[in-house]
A and B are shown apart, each in its own frame.
Chain A
């Protein structure tokens, strides 16, 4: 048995999940939505689309909703485009200024859905699932909040981004991202406290079987830095549990310092996770 980090003090209810991919070669790659004022980059349209799917599936009180977005490097397409224009002596594009931070698409999303709760954008090297769920758990202790929308965004990127990944993984044995340069991924999870409106809940697993005999997604080697694969896994498990019921142990990619984080997702939050057949969909990497 391996002891996992306890990151959640109380179970969370999963109100909705959504994923969106672009330019990955997958059959379900989306056409990017056009957002007024956002140009050139897939970052903001992908983030918005994932958020939109959750928020339209489960509308709620925007004044009691918070948003947290995690991405390792942010909108690298915009950053590189702006920088290349600058060093080439060309005039800056004010639209690139407007969309330079992840705050911008969060602001657009908040405007579209009337969200006036708190809004955070984060950069995470490891385990965005654990960080985002922990953030939601903390925020939901605020009596002014009922729901937290957490988002992850990951872009491919050009040679500078590849160089940054090489530097980040140098000497660690960790793989570098395998997204196409123009590709991108986004995933969103709308969370509240466990309640009747959220048939699937997620709680921290105090212990789990590292061999995967209790239905884990496996405790794979340390993943790619900045990977949001764990959010795709969580969304896939959520879909299956809504359909089939039961419970499932989700083990995130290991944190380089503290090991992986384990969560139990289930339609009965107290039930132990049961074994699932091999090759379950959570093992499918969404961008492969």
Chain B
């Protein structure tokens, strides 16, 4: 085994669609993906906006979290030229599929309108001829908003089972992948109470993060260790860092690192209650008039591999991970350190490990850049502290301005965006930028992509509790 860590494959889905080309069309063109979401009734909330993939029959089963993770994993392994039976770790950053929690309690409250008897089969259930296609038995259309919301994509995607047309990529589907469920029946009104019967209970384990990792590893047929990171917005970055440590220390050769978050009402409501969502329907990182973040769909997987292992089997390295770091703010449970102290420490660690403590070779930073007042100023100060001599020279952009905040998936998706910036020679812009904020006095690549021949780039993330991560990538 070798200490050098390379990327040999990836799969990615965002609101822009699937794969690198979708990212190029959206993120790299500076086109925000925000629109009013129809996955649930946004009436109770301050904004309807999110970067969610368009709803539609095809999207229903494809965008269930377990299926989206599996498809990205399949694509990543295909690109890497690996397959079932590979001794590879599966490291996933995910908080669980919250739609299963909603579905459970919504069923208890009786606001779902699903064909059939209470607890009986519904779309996606084994034996249901509708088969989770999203076409059979859709009673959602045309219903009053609050009720309709529970019958449209948010729930139907959760209800969609393995009988849909999900592409298996030629691999056998894990037995667990077939555990389809459906919403329970209608029990009108009132306080949500426990729901114990019916098919919905079969899918309630999708809320368990480690269970999604087991499903993913089983579906991909990988036989290595498995671990699930749940530390919010740094979860999938933490998974990548852990894989880098395992590979560089010679413990393993290959890891599939993934992350996933799909816009749903549980999290949307929580961020709304925390007054964290943007008020003007845009995310404007580093801009003087920024007013908050918006959520977005993101699922991605990368294959990390020791350079020696990749070389032995003739795999082409797409990029090399040359540095990583993580640190904590010790400041506040929900606010960043005002000087970006933890982020600066994580970035310094990563740059030191990369052999470039002064960031002399750094050509781009993919910022955490949430578009909140607290984050962007603190992040600016933190980055300035890391490379004070080069702060004006290093472009720093936030791609959350186009993808939205992908929460647990932010780390892995932004890792891939950073990789594409290196390989394509194009820096993705910070979209939605209106006017500079003296607090955020970095070159934030406003609104338009920029050609740049960059050899090394840094991607940073931060999360609740003051967790921070940093990764340095190098073009082969």
A binding-site residues for B, Cβ under 8 Å: 37, 62, 67, 72-74, 79-80, 82-84, 86-89, 91-94, 96-108, 110-111, 113-125, 131, 138, 141, 144, 158-160, 163-164, 166-168
- Give complex CA distance A131, B463 in Å: 23
Residues of A within 8 A of B203 (CB): 167
Tell me if A119 and B467 are in contact (CB < 8 A): yes
Known interface pairs A100-B270, A141-B249; A118-B465 also in contact (CB < 8 Å): no
**A108, A116, A123: which has the most chain B beta carbons within 10 Å?**
A123
Tell me if A83 and B327 are in contact (CB < 8 A): no
Closest 5 CB pairs of A and B: A107-B465, A103-B465, A92-B273, A159-B194, A123-B209
- Give complex CA distance A114, B102 in Å: 37
CB of A90, distance to nearest CB on chain B (Å): 9
User: Does chain A have a CB within 8 A of B332?
Assistant: yes
Tell me if B202 and A167 are in contact (CB < 8 A): yes
- Give complex CA distance A125, B191 in Å: 32
Tell me if A159 and B230 are in contact (CB < 8 A): no
- Give complex CA distance A118, B231 in Å: 11
CB of A1, distance to nearest CB on chain B (Å): 23
Known interface pairs A97-B270, A98-B334; A116-B229 also in contact (CB < 8 Å): no
Residues of B within 8 A of A82 (CB): 266, 269-270
- Give complex CA distance A82, B270 in Å: 8
Residues of B within 8 A of A104 (CB): 333-334, 464-465
Known interface pairs A101-B231, A119-B328; A163-B333 also in contact (CB < 8 Å): no
- Give complex CA distance A74, B194 in Å: 19
Partner of A103, one of B211, B242, B273, B463: B463
- Give complex CA distance A160, B106 in Å: 12
Q: For B214, give the chain A residue with the smallest CB separation.
A: A125
Residues of B within 8 A of A122 (CB): 227-230
Residues of A within 8 A of B330 (CB): 62, 110-111, 113-116
Tell me if A168 and B211 are in contact (CB < 8 A): yes
- Give complex CA distance A114, B317 in Å: 40
Residues of B within 8 A of A96 (CB): 270, 273
Partner of A167, one of B204, B328, B334, B345: B204
User: Does chain A have a CB within 8 A of B144?
Assistant: no
Tell me if B102 and A120 are in contact (CB < 8 A): no
Partner of B231, one of A102, A108, A160: A102
Give 15 A-B contacts (CB < 8 Å), ordered by A residue: A72-B208, A79-B207, A80-B105, A88-B109, A92-B269, A94-B275, A100-B270, A101-B230, A101-B464, A103-B463, A103-B467, A107-B331, A122-B230, A160-B104, A167-B179
Partner of A87, one of B102, B213, B230, B232: B102
- Give complex CA distance A103, B211 in Å: 20
Tell me if B328 and A117 are in contact (CB < 8 A): yes
Residue interface mask B196-229, A partner, CB < 8 A = 1: 1000011111011111011000000000000111
- Give complex CA distance A97, B106 in Å: 19
Residues of A within 8 A of B95 (CB): 74, 101
- Give complex CA distance A116, B111 in Å: 46
- Give complex CA distance A125, B212 in Å: 11
Q: For B181, give the chain A residue with the smallest CB separation.
A: A167
- Give complex CA distance A123, B96 in Å: 10
Tell me if B205 and A103 are in contact (CB < 8 A): no
- Give complex CA distance A98, B214 in Å: 28
Given contacts A103-B465, A111-B333, A159-B195, 11 further A-B contacts (CB under 8 A): A73-B208, A74-B209, A82-B266, A97-B271, A103-B467, A108-B465, A118-B327, A123-B213, A123-B229, A123-B230, A131-B227
Tell me if A138 and B245 are in contact (CB < 8 A): yes
- Give complex CA distance A115, B205 in Å: 33
